[in-house]
Amino acid sequence: MTSEQPTLLVLAAGMGSRYGGLKQLDPVGPSGETIMDYSIYDARKAGFNKVVFLIREEIAEIFREKIGAKYLGIMEVSYAFQEKSDLPLGCNFPEGREKPWGTGHAVWAARKELEHSPFAVINADDFYGAETFKVLYEQFTEFSTFSIHDELPCAMVGFRLSETMSEYGAVSRGICQTESGVLKKVEEWTGIQGNPIIGINSKGEGGKLTGEELVSMNVWAFPSSVFEFLEKSFVEFLHKLSDAEKEEFYLPFAVDQWIKQGIAQVQVKQAKCEWMGVTYKEDKPRVEESIANLVNAGFYPSPLSMA
pTM here is: 0.91
Query: Which fold would CATH assign to domain 7-153+216-247+272-296?
Result: Spore Coat Polysaccharide Biosynthesis Protein SpsA; Chain A (3.90.550)
The 10s digit of each residue's pLDDT in 64-114 is 988 888 888 899 999 999 998 889 998 888 887 888 889 999 999 999 999
The confidence band for 146, taking pLDDT boundaries of 50, 70 and 90, is: low
Q: Quick: pLDDT tens for 241-268.
A: 888 888 889 999 999 999 999 999 999 9
Domains of the chain, by residue range, sit at 7-153+216-247+272-296
The 8 Å CB, 24+ separation contacts for 281-289 are: 281/19, 281/20, 282/166, 282/167, 282/168, 283/166, 283/168, 284/26, 284/28, 287/28, 287/35, 287/127, 288/28, 288/29
Cβ atoms of 154 and 248 closer than 8 Å = no
| pLDDT at 1 > cutoff 90 | no
Alpha helices in 118-250 (DSSP H): 130-143, 226-239
